[in-house]
Amino acid sequence: MCASPKLLKIAMVLFLFYSSLIVGVGPSSQNNPQILTISPQIALPIGVKIWFNESGGSVKGLTEWNEGESFASLGIGHFLWHPYTNQNRASFYSGFPRLIRYIEKKGGKIPTWLRGNLYCPWNNRQEFLQAQNSPRMAQLRLFLQQTIPIQAEYLVKQLEETLPDLLASAPQEDRAFIYQNFHTLARTPAGIYALVDFLNFKGAGISNSRRNYEHGSGLLHVLKGMNRAPRGSTPLQAYVWSAKNALIRRVEQAPPSAHHERWLSGWFNRLNTYLEGDYLGTRIALN
């Protein structure tokens, strides 16, 4: 089912309210990245916003299997779950199984049939669609709804784990300002949401290629491009400006026959949600 405007408004109010709360950021150096922590109160609205971005707030959207793909996409971040028939791509450390272990570690209640289950029980998209109204699917959707804050915490953990790889992929002379841009944003709830959502949305952009570093469109390239934003921009405004330019570059590099420009309007709308808490000016001091 699609989210109603009323539900979307409630989610927005929740986010703006909790954006005034504290984001914890631990001690750091470039060799020892800061530890990002968010309270459950902040994790909830961030998780809800990512859910709306990915699935329009649809409960059904928490359990997807896209046409042409060989895996299910579950939860607010569309975490991948491969069936047994796709063992070569399944891993104890891949998307959904890793999320399950994280939720279990955090004390979340896991349905019995999910515990230690590396493989998706549905072998293909057809089986998955046939099970849409099954008790197991209903239980899975309820579980995913109830754990939205923990899923958001997990995405923040992934963001933190990505930072060393981002820095390692950048030339030595660029690492300091990429690091600074990252942690300037990570001091605010709205900034963490912007970082986490774009990473989940368009990836890290990590590559050993100098050309890809100069012309890519992942999180690394957005952080790199912030320093070219118009003078007087806030960190979030500079981030969104850089992200929009990165996505324009992505469209320009795609084959004209792909008509990727048709996605730009929706992508820009998503990026604009990063600015909705910008006026709060919340700045959290480092411990």
Q: Comparing C-alpha atoms, which of 231, 236, 237, 154 is closest to residue 196?
A: 154
Place of tokens 């411990």: 287
Return the exposure string of 52-74: e unless at least 16 CB atoms fall within 10 Å of the residue's CB, then b: bbbbebebebbbbbeeeebbbbb
Angle 179-50-164 from CA coordinates, rounded to 5°: 25
pLDDT, tens digit, for every residue of 94-136? 689 999 999 999 999 999 999 888 899 999 999 999 999 999 9
Task: Count structural domains, the chain.
Answer: 2
Residues 188 and 209 in one domain: yes
Residue 194: name the closest of 215, 217, 223, 170 by CA.
Answer: 223
What confidence tens digit (pLDDT) does each residue in 12-62 have? 444 444 443 334 444 344 444 456 888 888 999 999 999 999 999 999 999
Q: How many C-beta atoms lie closer than 10 Å to residue 91's C-beta?
A: 13
Q: What is the pLDDT of residue 212?
A: 78
pLDDT for 137 equals 97
Task: Give the Å distances, CA to CA, from 274 to 79, 109, 218, 241.
Answer: 22, 32, 16, 11
Q: Verify that 225 and 173 share a domain, yes or no.
A: yes
256 pLDDT band, cuts 50/70/90, is confident
CB count within 10 Å of CB 9 equals: 10
For residues 239-256, average pLDDT: 93
The phi, psi pair for 139, rounded to 5°, reads -65, -40
Query: Both 189 and 262 in a single domain?
Result: yes
- Domain-embedded: residue 285: no
Q: Are residues 51 and 168 in the same domain?
A: yes
The answer to whether residue 71 sits within a structural domain is yes
Q: Please state the separation of Cα 133 from the chain's center in Å.
A: 28
Task: For residue 122, give the nearest of 174, 84, 79 by alpha carbon.
Answer: 84
The answer to whether residues 45 and 182 belong to one domain is: yes
Return mean pLDDT, the chain. Answer: 84
Rounded CA separation 24/264 (Å)? 34
Shared-domain flag, residues 121 and 159: no
Q: Which domain holds residue 9?
A: 5-58+150-280
Residue 287 lies in a domain: no
Q: Which amino acid, 215?
A: H
202 vs 40, higher pLDDT: 202
Question: What Å distances lie between residue 165 and 8, 124, 207, CA to CA?
Answer: 35, 33, 9
- Of the two residues 69 and 7, the one the predictor is more confident about is 69
pLDDT band at 92 (very low <50, low <70, confident <90, very high): low
pTM for the structure as a whole? 0.83
Calculate mean pLDDT across residues 235-247: 97
Residues 186 and 268 in one domain: yes
HSE toward the beta carbon, residue 67, CA cutoff 13 A: 0
Helix, strand, or coil (residue 177):
helix
Tens of pLDDT, residue by residue over 262-271, are 999 999 999 9
- Say what the pLDDT of residue 39 is: 87
